[in-house]
Amino acid sequence: MAKSKKNRKKVSKELDSINASIESILSQYNSSTPKERKAVLKGLNKDKKKVIKRWIKSQSGSDVFELTSINRKIKRVSEVSERIPINYGIFDFNIKSDYFRSIKNKEQYLDGLFHRKMKSLLSRLDAPKNESEANSLQGLITQYSKKIKDTKFYDPEIVENNINKLTNFRNKLNSWEFSEYLKVKKSIINKEIKDKEKGREIGDYYSKEAGEREEIYKAIEKPILVEGLLVGLQFNFF
């Protein structure tokens, strides 16, 4: 069954609100200049010298902790250039700041990058050899599907191929179980593939099988700041 226009409008509004908050972050924290970064680095290095001097006398663990924090800040500011580091799910991207700011639908752009990286990763992974690898693969499949399902990038064949890897592992090790989520995906994946092959919008078969709509992860963004400078963006999926 195809998604209703009402559901599509809801997804569109959610995308708009996420993009609006990204725009708000980028507007609030403009690109830093080399002069501003140099001034921040000067202050951080001054703080570092003070902590080292204090630690030589105290040998305190708290001073070591503070020094580690300062070094991390120095590294982040030193790495800032015309590109902005973006952590998106399990992947990191470095995107030209001006280009990223010019993109209208930033979440869609990041979803495209995420899809390509995840597709490459999942295609390279062999069938799991133990339960830990099986659980890890299951987590990757879930993250891919729940983040990409309602986008133009979603490829059910990627999900099917990797569920097959888990199925082969399951046949060898009867004690291991699929998550309830993947059990449902396993039973509906052929219908999704058929929709894709026919050029149709992929239907919401999950709700028929599970009795509830398939959960879709949202990307919740937060700025990474050092001394007021925007040095990156981090997105968590919920």
Each residue of 127-173: pLDDT tens digit?
999 999 999 999 999 999 999 998 999 999 999 999 999 999 999 87
Identify the pLDDT of residue 1: 35
Low-confidence ranges of the chain (pLDDT < 70): 1-16
Identify the pLDDT of residue 7: 53
Helices (H), the chain: 5-28, 34-58, 61-79, 97-102, 106-124, 131-148, 156-172, 180-197, 205-210
